[in-house]
Amino acid sequence: MPILVMKFGGTSVATPDRIRRAAKRVGLEVAKGYDVIVIVSAMAGETNRLIELVDDIAPLYDAREYDAVVSSGENVTAGLMALTLQEMDIPARSWQGWQVPVRTTSAHGAARIEEIPTDNIMAKFAEGMKVAVVAGFQGVSAENRITTLGRGGSDTTAVAFAAAFGAERCDIYTDVDGVYTTDPRICDRARKLDKIAFEEMLELASLGAKVLQTRSVELAMRYKVRLRVLSSFGDNDESAGTIVCDEEEIVESKVVSGVAFSRDEAKMTLTSVADRPGIAAAIFGPLAEAGVNVDMIVQNISEGGRTDMTFSCPTREVKRAQAALEKAREIGSIDFEELVADTHVAKVSVVGIGMRSHTGVAARMFQALAREGINIQVITTSEIKISVLIDRKYMELAVQALHDEFELEKAA
């Protein structure tokens, strides 16, 4: 039998009624002849509740016990989904991560999947089971301790199962009906995409689009797992949602496919840094060790042997970055006059595989922003992306201006 993976996010299983609705969708796929692996998240809000309990009991918690607690929400959902399917006379059972087993690294809270043996689940399919309901977000380490994959980890679980079992497709059910050219809440002309390339989706996910977890897209691209993102509350026909696929499947694409943005950005500047060989390593080495996720980097022209170094990072990591750089100055590995943090910036990006073969995208982007009086503070580019850092109060205006400039409301 062909295998289909279906993943349901927290809002899709938030109540017993929604679990029944999701189970009906599973039943439709079983009726088409699929053996189905269902990956479930915890019910909406449950993981946050469990995290609050841990913080209340032990603010400086043991990460292994933290994982044992916060992974329990998915176990509840898996059991409820299996029971619902059984009530529909569909042979189903629930699986926790350790029962599969989903083997992971020992990095509690941010584990990575190493292996998913297929023997146990395939044996049950051979015995007549039609649906395996697997708790997402969790696995088991070599030390036989429960691990979790980080927030949004159920997406990664679903893609990893699709790759391991050679699934025909991996359907990600969520509360939106696909991938849009930008956030419809920001731009009312945003258009749902029928298809988007893995690389474009990866850039959009990493730049702030919250439809899919970045790691899940990386995994799908590496193993060529065909994804479909769709709403658990809408239609379920073959044309529903957005297909995330190989670039070759997209016959004709626009130069720019989407506009992404991130509010939670900070710009940090080290002034009057000694301009010498190795200074970049001396600055960004301590930041890496402190776990600061640096994005944009700009170095000014050197004057008198001194220069300014600017970089961006998530606002939640500003204090960690400040502490790491001050410590580096104290021990003498770097010397700077001042560390200035600006937490009132936003990152806006245009993304599209069409940029590879078209010129002038940057010029059009900058002209569109200039017409709206929006000043660009930092610029960074890749083969299919251009990102700028701007004053946060202009973020929504910038998104709308760029969406209009590239006529993203129109199909290719």
| Full 3-state SS string of 107-154 | CCCCCCEEECCCHHHHHHHHCCCCEEEEECCEEECCCCCEEECCCCHH
Cis preceding linkage at 101, omega within 30? yes
Q: CA dihedral in degrees (18, 22, 23, 25; nearest 10)?
A: 140
Residue 174 is labelled as binding a ligand: yes
The tokens describing 393, both together, are 């109060």
Residue 7 is labelled as binding a ligand: yes
Residue 295 is labelled as binding a ligand: no
Residue 235 is labelled as binding a ligand: no
Residue 269 is labelled as binding a ligand: no
Residue 342 is labelled as binding a ligand: no
Residue 185 is labelled as binding a ligand: yes
Residue 109 is labelled as binding a ligand: no
Lookup result for tokens 């060989």: 277
Residue 8 is labelled as binding a ligand: yes
| Full 3-state SS string of 171-189 | EEEECCCCCECCCCCCCCC
Nearest to 250 by CA among 191, 209, 181, 194: 194
Residue 161 is labelled as binding a ligand: no
Nearest-angstrom CA–CA distance, 141 and 147: 6
Residue 254 is labelled as binding a ligand: no
The tokens describing 225, both together, are 């797992």
Biggest CA–CA distance in the chain, Å, is 79
For residue 357, give every residue at least 6 positions away whose Cβ sits within 8 Å of its Cβ, in sequence order, or none. Answer: none
Residue 180 is labelled as binding a ligand: yes
Residues forming the annotated binding site?
7-10, 47, 74, 174-175, 180, 185, 210-211
Residue ranges at the known binding site for ATP: 7-10, 174-175, 180, 185, 210-211
The binding site for substrate comprises: 47, 74
